[in-house]
Amino acid sequence: MHDGSRLLIDDGAVARNVRRIVRSTGTPLMAVLKADAFGHGPQAAVVLSAGASWIGVTSIKEAMPLREHGVRAPLLSWLNPVDADWAAAIAADIDLAVPGVRHLSAIAGAAVAAGRRARVHLHLDVGMARDGAASAEWKQLMFFAREWEERGAIRVVGIMAHLSSAQDPEAEENVVERQRFLNGCRMAARAGLRPSVRHLAATAAALSRPDTRFDLTRVGAGLFGIDPAHRFALEGAMTLDAPVVSVRDVRAGTGVGYGLSHHTDRDTRLALVPIGYGDGIPRAASHHASVSIRGVRRPVVGLISMDQLVVDTGDVPVTEGERAVVFGPGNDGEPTVRDWADWAGTIEHEIVTGLGPRIRREHRGVSTDGTSIGDGVDDGRVTAGVDDRGPGGPEQPRHPAARASSSTPAGDSAAESAPVPASAHVSAHVAASGRADTRTDLAGRSL
């Protein structure tokens, strides 16, 4: 671990984002906590106490620790190999996405062997050629799902899909893929299936396309302040900083870093900060990035190395031991996660999920009921809003949120979601980065 490199995770910001999204969409929320909650560590207690109804992750491997730590909310896993440990997932009451007939047969077989009914969501590919059943397979998948349901092996709880182009709310693909999803829902109804939740919208669509919300929205990035469409003001929940370990005065023309790709254009002072691409700071951001020292943005010069980067501090009187803010919410003019994504030519998701284990994690914030939810170093435990009997206790009742989802049969009549409340509001969060974005609150008002 680098001495002093630190990731401050604001659990209070996460909770506020959850409340704003739930209030704005008027739809039950599945909080997507895949990839270690987008790099934000243990967040199940935070999001559930703030109003999320479900938890979503990719793999059974991600889902099992949540159950083992007492999380009782409905929990969906949607990306597993056909030979996954279905028996363990079924025993842990984990909902399972079904992307094809082979997966369905494997899950149903495990359920029959265990003498339990598996809860499944039929996963349809509506346009990405990625996960989910291809449209040519839908009829067969639904026929066999009905057969297994009648035999008591499964219960079809949901139908799900994912939009390819929701980051552009006006993209025609959103209309086409929504219609394909509705066609799949009608096909399921004709097959005799009555799923209680239809879910299509992830963060971008949940925020920008009310017609895609259906019975449940799946929001991951938005929980942590990331809006892929860059239209809504949510709170960033990460601040990354590191100490200045040395400073040196150099003459004009001094070369910096590997390949001496930068030469100083004047006499200046350079500060060395012990964090680099080995910690997830993208090397591609070299020659573009900046950090904040003493509240002033200063450029990162030379190539970003594996373990360190160099900052031209100019006239800022920096001394050893001071902290350089690599990124934060932007409230004090520091660079943001979006800035780093832009500098590296990537997306914010890659920045927050790529931070390495050498960086110390600290959680800070206050839960919705005013109690502390993490002032201290991340130890990987869920400590609030969960069953305190632990994994050895008796089978737990499902989270009350399981009853929050609509029981309307699949079809077009219930496709329109609840209207956005007029009171929904998000405080402005605009980084001092020089962009002239038009940002709005979740009710669509300009900020």
Q: Is 139 a catalytic residue?
A: no
Residues 284 and 245 reside in one and the same domain: yes
Residues 66 and 205 in one domain: yes
- Does 194 carry a binding-site annotation? no
Please tell me the pTM assigned to this model: 0.82
- Name residues whose C-beta falls within 8 Å of residue 65's C-beta, 6 or more positions apart in sequence: none
351-395 confidence digits (pLDDT tens): 999 999 999 999 998 544 434 343 333 333 222 233 332 333 323
Percent of the chain with pLDDT over 70: 81
Q: Is 219 left (phi over 0), alpha (psi -120 to 50) or beta?
A: beta
Containing domain of residue 275, as a range? 238-361
Domain membership of residue 126 (yes or no) is: yes
What was the pLDDT predicted at 379? Answer: 34
Same domain, 190 and 327: no
Same domain, 279 and 343: yes
Q: What is the DSSP secondary-structure string of 193-221? A: ---SEEE---HHHHHH-GGG-TT-EEESG
The answer to whether residue 311 sits within a structural domain is: yes
Q: Is residue 63 part of a domain?
A: yes
376: β partners: 363
Looking at the fold, whether 201 and 267 belong to one and the same domain comes out as: no
Q: What is the pLDDT of residues 1-51, one digit of tens each?
A: 445 899 999 999 999 999 999 999 999 999 999 999 999 999 999 999 999
In total, the chain counts a number of residues equal to 447
Whether 184 is covered by a domain: the verdict is yes
44 domain-assigned: no
Q: What is the pLDDT of residue 231?
A: 83
* CATH code, domain carrying 399: 3.20.20.10
Which pLDDT score is estimated for 394? 28
Structure tokens at 150: 């009648």
pLDDT for position 422: 24
CATH number at residue 263: 2.40.37.10
Q: Is 160 one of the annotated binding-site residues?
A: no
The residue with tokens 């996460």 is 14
Q: How many domains does the chain have?
A: 2
Do β-strands 75-77 and 95-98 pair in parallel, antiparallel, or remain unpaired?
A: parallel
Q: What is the pLDDT of residue 178?
A: 98
Whether residue 198 is found in the same domain as residue 248:
no
Asked whether residue 27 is assigned to any structural domain, the reply reads: no
Same domain, 197 and 296: no
Low-confidence stretches of the chain (pLDDT < 50) are 1-2, 367-447
The reported pLDDT for the residue numbered 426 is: 24
The pLDDT of residue 9 is 98
61 is catalytic: no
Return the pLDDT at 3. 59
Residues 260, 130, single domain; the answer is no
Residues 307, 191, single domain; the answer is no
* Contact of 179 with 412, CB cutoff 8 Å: no
